[in-house]
Amino acid sequence: MNLSEKESAVLQEVQSANVEASSIANRTELSIASVHAVINSLVKKELLVKLEDKTLRLGAKFGEYIESLTQSKADQGDADPAGSDKPPVIIAITENGSSDNAENKSENKGIAIVIPYLRSEAAGDELRYALRSWTDHFANKHHVIVVGDREDWFSPEINHIPMDPVLILEDCNCAAPAEIRNPQADVTHKILALIAAGEIEGDFILSNDDIFLAGHTTLADIQSLKAFGDLEDHGKGASLYCKNALLTKRALEAENKATKSYGTHTPMLLNAEVLAEVIEKYGATEKGLLLTSLYFNDQFPNARPIQITGAINDPILASLYRDNAELALVKKVFAERKFVNCNAKGWISIEPVVKSIFANPSRYEKD
C-alpha cells in the first residue's frame, strides 16, 4: 500500500503503542494538528478504525501494510522491526488536558458554531449581539465555541478555547523572511487546533463576531453554497488579503480545481475531518490561504454557488461598511435580508439597530 512519509511515520508510532498525540508529534516532528490529520487519512485507508468511545484500533488492512513493509525491508536486507504476526492493538489518541471536556462532548448539544475571536480587532460589542442573533433566529439546536480571546461577559454556555495569535513566516521570497500575523493563516491554525483537540467533529458552522442573522435561519440556508466572484477579482491590490487571494488561486490551479471566491462573510457549513485533510493537502497552516475558498473549491470543483455581493440589490446579504448609513436603510436590510455583516466603520451604523432588535440577553451572557 502506498503511504506518504508522514502516514508511515504516524502509523508506526501507533503500532508501537505510542498513545499520546503530543508524543507522536515530538517523535515524528509533526504538529499535533498534523498528527490528527494524518490519523484521519489512515482511517480513510482502513489502516486505523475509529471506535465509538473515540479510541482507535489498527484496521483490517494493517496486516497487509505490515506485510508489504516487511517485504520492502527484506528486499533491502533489513530485519522486520514490527513483526507481521503482532496482534491488533487497541489504543487511544489523547491530548494533554483534553479529558476536562469529555463529559461535555458526550452530550448532544446540537451543531457547533465556531467563532475565531481576536479582541483587539473587534470594533465594539459585535460578538455579544451576533450571539443574540443566533439565539433569536437560528432554528437548529446548537452550541457556541469561541476560540481565541474571551470577554468578561461570557457565560459557561460558551465553550471558550484560549489561543494566542499564531505567527508564520512572511511570503516574500527574501533571504530572511520575518514572522508575521497573517489573519487567514491564524484562523486556519485555530480551527485545526479545535479539530486536533476533538472539540469539533463532523459538520460544524464557521462564523464571525461581526456576522448577524437578520431573520429566521435554518441549517439549509447556511449549507447552500455562496460565492463572490473569482479569487482573481479579490487579488487586485497590495493588501495582505489580496496577496492571499492570489496565493489561494495559484494553489487551487495547481490541483486543477475551480477558483471561486467563497469568502462571502456569511456563516458556512464545513466538515471537520474533511477540512483537516484539505488543510494538510495544501499546507495551509504555513501559508495565508483563504480557508473556505480552499475547502469548497477542492471539495466541490463543479459547483454553481449562489453569487452574492452584499450590495444594495443583493437579496440575501447586506454588507455595511460605512459609518454614516441611514438609520432607515439599516433597519430595512435587517427586515429583508438573511445575513448582515459589517466592518469597524459599519458597526457604528449597525450598533443602535442591533441594540434595539436584539435587546434581550442570550444564554451566552452572564446574568
Q: Are 169 and 286 in contact (CB under 8 A)?
A: yes
Same domain, 210 and 69: no
**Would you state the pLDDT for residue 30?**
75
CATH at residue 238 = 3.90.550
Measured CA to CA, the distance from residue 250 to residue 238 in angstroms comes to 17
**Residue at 104 is within a domain:** no
**Residue at 18 is within a domain:** yes
**Would you state the pLDDT for residue 168?**
85
Task: Find the length of the chain.
Answer: 367
What the block records as the C-alpha cell of 184 is: 487567514
Measured CA to CA, the distance from residue 325 to residue 303 in angstroms comes to 35
Residue closest to 86 by CA, chosen among 66, 56, 61, 59: 66
Measured CA to CA, the distance from residue 309 to residue 66 in angstroms comes to 53
pTM: 0.75
**Would you state the pLDDT for residue 22?**
72
Measured CA to CA, the distance from residue 13 to residue 60 in angstroms comes to 17
Helix (H, G, I), strand (E, B) or coil at 222: helix
Same domain, 28 and 150: no
**Would you state the pLDDT for residue 358?**
97
> pLDDT under 50 in the chain at which residues?
68-74, 76-89, 95-106
**Residue at 367 is within a domain:** no
Same domain, 296 and 154: yes
Give the burial class of 38: count Cβ atoms within 10 A of its Cβ; 0-12 exposed, 13-18 middle, 19 or more buried: buried
Measured CA to CA, the distance from residue 142 to residue 104 in angstroms comes to 13
**Would you state the pLDDT for residue 70?**
45
**Would you state the pLDDT for residue 16?**
79
Question: Positive or negative, the Cα torsion across 134, 260, 228, 191?
Answer: positive
Domain, as residue range, for 48: 5-96
**Residue at 101 is within a domain:** no
